[in-house]
Chain A
Amino acid sequence: MFTLLAKILSALNSDAEPHQIASAIALAMVFGLNPTLSLMGLLVIVLLFSLRVNLSTFIALFAVFSGVAVLIAKPMHEVGLLVLNNESLQPLFTEWFQSYWFRVLELNNTLVMGAMVTSFVLFIPVWLIAKFLVDKYRAAFQAFVEKFKVVQSLKASKFYQVYQAVHTQ
């Protein structure tokens, strides 16, 4: 847990661009909510290899979003049910269902479809919010936080030593 927090703080305090950290958070959200071997999961893996995003943040938050996925499985199933049972989309889905990619990726499954739609819809807001928070943190909050006695005492703690070790790696 210390290491996880340390990695997040390390990324926030590092020289990594805020959009890289925001992308990592948004991609971790997508990867965490969707099954690993789903369309979105594979897409995220390709993007991780191809784009410059902060991997530490991604790994740390993937675990968090995986936990969240379990908690919101039912609502995501409801979303999937709503989408797949949508009358106007029936011809489209029927046509897609004839092709193997749709069935191999299990897009006719309510949970898979729900997770995909949810993560797709949340991607931009999460990215924007993450970027906004990272910017805010770096501009004001970082210096402000460091003035706290509690932070200073924290810096003297074992946790800070771990953080330092991670940060300098």
Chain B
Amino acid sequence: MTEKQMNDKSPEKSEDSAKNNDKPKGMLRTSGLATLLVLTGGTAAGGYFFADSLVKLAVEKGLSNAVGAETNLASAEVSWHPFGVTLNGLQQTDPQNPEFNLLQIEQAVAKVNLGELLLDRLVIDDLTVSKLQLNVKREQAGEVYSVEESQNEEGDEGKGQEGGLADGFAIPSADDLLAKADLQTEKKAKNLEQVWQRENAEMDKALRAIPNEAELKKYEDKWKQLKGRKIKSLDDIEKLRAEIKSLKAEVKSDKAALKKAREQFKSSKEKVGVAYKELEAAPGQDWQSIKETLPIDDPNAVAISKMLFGDEIGGYLEQAQSLYLKVKPYIDANKQVKADQKIDTQISFRGEDIQFPLEEVYPDAILLSGGASVLANNGKTYQLSFTELTHQSYVRNAPGTYVLVQENSGSAQALTVDGQYFINQASAFTTEGQWSLKGEKLASKSLSDSSDLKVELTKAIINGNGQYQFDKLLESSHQLKFEQTEFTGESSTELSDLVLNTLKNIDNFDLNIGVDGDILSPSTSVRSNMDSRLNTAFKDAFKQRWKAVEGETKDKLSNKLQSALDLNSGDMKKLNDMDLDLNNLESSLSEYSQKALNNLIDSKKKQYEDELKNKAKKEVDKQKDKLKDKLKDKLKDFKCCE
């Protein structure tokens, strides 16, 4: 805007302004007040009329984002006094199996505390869920937005079953036992081989340093030559002395090498001997170890009930663990959120919240009371009621309680589960509870489907009770009593025949199950009076069979040992041969001892001296004879008494 334009406009504006100023003005701005009322009213009316749609949209978006799969909600209604939400026809697709719903609810009515909602807390005074169903097939597959990473479920083969007894009633063969045992025989045989190879190399090295046969022959020749040497002068003696000195040095060096070789031999023999002894003892140790890991000595220790029900119990445990693993990330996330909130308050200055005592305190989210009717896939309806369900039990210092009831057609309670849990400030979860089961008719259930025994519990009435407690570690005990039982099945071996016939004669039995320890790897114990009955029945047969297995296993271990020993027998012979060779060599070299060499010089010296003496004597005799002859010649003409 230029100055000119401004100047052009100013007079008109000034006039308008002057006119306006002439009007009497009160304190109230009526037009503003009207605008405020219209805005406020409009917002309230909009909220009132569109609340249902907004809630429907929020539930669908929120759930589908949280779960990662399509959420369908038929309708949602908002009631204002008291404030609450009703959800009709909720279906949540299972992201891992989009053909099925993770859960399906016919209707859920929640009464929500609006004041707490404004304070960012979800407090549901009452929640009623009708016809909650899990894992129901959808009419058409739901859309999946993100597939959760499948949990690495470790295959717990043989979990809950004592070693070697996983395959129904098949007693483990000798091969099975050997395969499962951590065999010392094989290890020790390998060790012996390694020790031998190492020591053999050391021995070879030592043996290479000692004289061989050709060198010994050279010594012999040299010795003969020296022994036969004629000494004609003092020079010859000196020469002989020098040669003997050289021979002595060679012999000394070879003797040192021989000494070293003998020491090496001694050490190697010792080491190989130890390894050999260990190998000999290994089969015995292996058998002991197999006996310790398997209930071989005492057939009573073999829990038949565990064989029959182990898989069933394992299945329930796996389900519980899978549920725990699904919940665990949320518990961890809660811890993270709490930590983040702490950091936030530390960073920004926004004053300090002074807390005054409250008559009613609430955590961030809580279901104060409620109930749900759960329609199970087996057609049974379970009534679930609960109070104080929250992830922050410590806020109200009240445990969350839950009661699950399943009624029989005769209105008698068939199953009741009654428990409570508490989550403390450190997000540590504890729970305890008990359950009871009365007059539950068991549908036909397969207990064993192994190659040699198929057992089915076709009929039974179950009563039972149990209690559980979790505080870092799980402690639980469960007692079940099976009455009016009927077993059917097929058997193909002597042992399984015995089992099946014994079971067929049982019309009631009890089952005591204990699940204790770490929740992700609990130890289970299953005991039943059926065990003693069955064990009594086939104890002898079992023992005989075990004896056969024991014999076979021991034979196989012996064979393993023998083959290992055979493998090394050639090496051991070589070691003994070396000993012999060293002895021969030692005796050969002893011939060339220092003393023998010194004696040779002395004898040669003496021989030479004797020769010189003889020679001198001969010369003297010769001179004597000559003088004698000369004298005779001079005296032959001389006549004494003529």
**What is the interface of chain A, defined by CB distance below 8 A to chain B?**
15, 17, 46, 48-52, 73-74, 77, 80-81, 84-85, 90, 93-94, 97-98, 100, 103-104, 106, 108-112, 114, 161, 164-165, 168-169
Contacts and interface: CB of A to CB of B under 8 A. Distances in A.
23 contacts: A15-B17, A49-B29, A49-B33, A49-B36, A77-B349, A77-B351, A77-B352, A81-B354, A94-B356, A100-B118, A100-B119, A104-B119, A108-B356, A109-B351, A110-B352, A110-B354, A111-B350, A111-B352, A161-B6, A164-B10, A168-B9, A168-B10, A168-B14
A10 to B, nearest CB: 12
**3 tightest A-B CB contacts, nearest first:** A111-B351, A100-B115, A97-B356
Contacts of B352: 77, 81, 109-111
Nearest to B3: A161
B353 interface: yes
Contacts of A110: 351-354
Interface string B5-45: 01001100110010001000111110011011000000000
B355 interface: yes
A49 B119 CA distance: 28
Contacts of A15: 17, 21
A52 B14 contact: no
B26 A52 contact: yes
Nearest to B357: A94
Nearest to A93: B356
A25 to B, nearest CB: 16
Given A73-B349, A100-B118, A168 B33 contact: no
B26, B349, B353, B359: which has the most chain A beta carbons within 10 Å?
Answer: B353
A49 B38 CA distance: 12
B333 interface: no
Contacts of A52: 25-29
Given A104-B118, A109-B353, A164-B6, 20 more contacts: A49-B35, A51-B29, A52-B27, A52-B28, A74-B349, A77-B349, A81-B352, A90-B356, A94-B356, A100-B116, A100-B118, A100-B119, A103-B119, A108-B354, A109-B354, A110-B353, A112-B351, A168-B6, A168-B10, A169-B13
Nearest to B350: A111
B412 interface: no
B339 interface: no
Contacts of A80: 351
A46 B29 CA distance: 11
Interface of B: 1, 3, 6, 9-10, 13-14, 17, 21, 25-29, 32-33, 35-36, 115-116, 118-119, 349-359
A50 B29 contact: yes
Given A15-B21, A50-B28, A109-B351, A98 B119 contact: no
Contacts of A46: 36
A111 B352 CA distance: 7
Contacts of A114: 351
Nearest to A52: B29
B22 to A, nearest CB: 10
Nearest to B118: A104
A98 B358 contact: yes
A104 B119 CA distance: 6
Nearest to A96: B356
A118 B101 CA distance: 57
Contacts of A98: 358-359
A69 B235 CA distance: 125
Given A51-B27, A52-B29, A168-B10, A84 B349 contact: no
Contacts of B356: 90, 93-94, 97, 108
A106 B350 CA distance: 11
Contacts of B3: 161
A113 to B, nearest CB: 8
A50 B32 CA distance: 6
A111 B353 CA distance: 9
A14 B511 CA distance: 96
A108 B355 contact: yes
A77 B116 CA distance: 26
Contacts of A50: 28-29, 32-33, 36
A108 B354 CA distance: 5
A86 B351 CA distance: 17
Contacts of A17: 25
B6, B32, B356: which has the most chain A beta carbons within 10 Å?
Answer: B356
Contacts of A48: 32
A165 B6 contact: yes
Nearest to A90: B356
Contacts of B26: 52
A37 B202 CA distance: 91
A26 to B, nearest CB: 14
A159 B1 CA distance: 13
B348 to A, nearest CB: 11
Contacts of A108: 353-356
A98 B359 CA distance: 7
Contacts of A165: 1, 6
Contacts of B21: 15
Contacts of B357: 94, 97
A146 to B, nearest CB: 17
Contacts of B36: 46, 49-50
A54 to B, nearest CB: 11
B354 to A, nearest CB: 4
Contacts of B116: 100
